[in-house]
């Protein structure tokens, strides 16, 4: 088996790990009861956790978009011998993770837009009006803050299961799945 088939290319690995780190950091910095605090007059720029959380959310969305574009043109991904059900579950998990990486930041934008809160980013960047989603038909379909929290929890649980599966592949199946996303030796 050639090296190209046993490892993802360096850019795919970089996108994977940068996205994972950004998701974990954003989750850990996710402010509790952000919407309630904003309704009570909290200025988000005064909270470093909010600024970092929102900046990391934008980073996740951008990394995911770049990653998707790269996936369309990158070298062929490694293939591993496994039962059909396992391959199907792997593809389904990847699809769900990709969807969550797009939908979770979008749900935050809906939450901010429908509640009239500014998007506050590193470097003092502030978007005070998010009219695209505040006026949309989707805006009043849900409590987008609750949806965002649910999706944030879901992405962490599913990516955790993804990591456990990779570790299981490494120690039980010994098939190189985990090593394919790690630096070459």
Q: Give the pLDDT confidence of 112-134 residue by residue, as tens digits.
A: 877 778 888 999 889 877 656 65
Please report the pLDDT score of residue 4 as a whole number. 41
- Which residue ranges of the chain lie beneath pLDDT 50? 1-4
Query: Residue 169 and residue 68: Cα distance in Å, rounded?
Result: 25
H or E element that contains 127: strand 126-127
Query: Residue 79 and residue 94: Cα distance in Å, rounded?
Result: 14
- Distance from chain centroid for Cα 49: 18
The domain locations on the chain are 3-181
pTM above 0.85, yes or no: yes
| CA angle centred on 88, ends 26 and 97, rounded to 5° | 10
Please report the pLDDT score of residue 2 as a whole number. 43
DSSP 80: -
85 by Cβ neighbours in 10 Å (0-12 / 13-18 / 19+) ranks as: exposed
Candidate CATH numbers 1.10.3470, 1.10.3430, 1.20.950, 1.10.3210; the one for domain 3-181: 1.20.950
Query: Residue 72 and residue 87: Cα distance in Å, rounded?
Result: 20
Other Cβ atoms less than 10 A from the Cβ of 149: the count is: 19
Mean pLDDT for all residues in the chain: 88
Q: Kindly report the length of the chain.
A: 185
């Amino acid at each position: 088996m050639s090296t190209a088939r046993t490892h993802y290319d360096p850019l795919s690995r970089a996108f994977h790990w940068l996205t994972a780190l950004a998701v974990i950091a954003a989750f850990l910095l996710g402010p509790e009861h952000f919407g309630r605090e904003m309704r009570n007059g909290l200025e988000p720029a005064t909270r470093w956790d909010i600024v970092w959380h929102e900046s990391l959310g934008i980073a996740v969305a951008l990394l995911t978009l770049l990653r998707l574009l790269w996936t369309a043109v990158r070298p062929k991904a490694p293939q591993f011998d496994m039962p059909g059900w396992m391959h199907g579950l792997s593809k389904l998990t990847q699809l769900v993770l990709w969807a969550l990486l797009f939908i979770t930041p979008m749900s935050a934008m809906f939450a901010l837009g429908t509640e009239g809160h500014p998007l506050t980013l590193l470097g003092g960047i502030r978007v005070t009006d998010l009219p695209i989603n505040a006026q949309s038909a989707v805006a009043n379909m849900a409590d987008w803050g609750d949806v965002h929290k649910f999706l944030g929890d879901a992405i962490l649980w599913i990516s955790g299961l993804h990591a456990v599966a990779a570790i299981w592949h490494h120690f039980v199946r010994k098939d190189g799945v985990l090593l394919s996303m790690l630096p070459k030796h």
